[in-house]
Amino acid sequence: MAKQLTIQVSIYGYNEHRCDVLLKKDLPEQAQSNLVVLDGWAQKSVMAIGFDMKHSQRWLCEICGDPAREVVLDPKPNLRLEDPVVTLNMHQLCEAQGGPCHSAVHELIRKQALAAGSPPSGLQQPNATTAPLAGSCIAASHAKHKIGRDIARLAK
């Protein structure tokens, strides 16, 4: 039985800009021998990481090259008790739901899922909001850092 979940995160931006991160997360004891428990625990763990992934790079939209403000998460679990792995693809987009860039990435995700023989992820995306630039720190959500102002970043 495995003692850790391997999470392979790939962040995709404009012009094939990419960042790969390999994470190992200790499995709770009850998830080490029960695939149903492992599946539920892995989903929650991976989504928590995906929705809170920070990066100091100024990311541009994977499709058009405009500043990225949204991330589309595409988890691909390969859960076995012996060696559980989840690949999490994070697509940087300029739009907050809808539009040609959003449609292009979802079509790419659909084609990849069909080629792999699995259904596309049914992951629910959060409601559309005005988001800070990808790579911004938490201060970007405060009023003094709204759109049109210099946005605080984790690193320069």
How far apart are the C-alpha atoms of 93 and 131, rounded to whole Å? Answer: 11
Residues in contact with 44: Cβ distance below 8 Å, sequence separation at least 6, in sequence order: none
How far apart are the C-alpha atoms of 115 and 35, rounded to whole Å? Answer: 25
How far apart are the C-alpha atoms of 12 and 9, rounded to whole Å? Answer: 10
Is 152 domain-assigned? no
Is 49 domain-assigned? yes
Is 15 domain-assigned? yes
10-residue mean pLDDT series, the chain (156 residues): 91 92 93 92 85 75 91 88 92 84 91 81 54 56 49 44
pLDDT at 83: 93
Total of domains in the chain = 1
pLDDT at 118: 75
Is 116 domain-assigned? yes
Is 19 domain-assigned? yes
Is 150 domain-assigned? no
Residues in contact with 47: Cβ distance below 8 Å, sequence separation at least 6, in sequence order: 73, 75, 123
Is 126 domain-assigned? yes
Is 154 domain-assigned? no
Domain of residue 115 covers 4-145
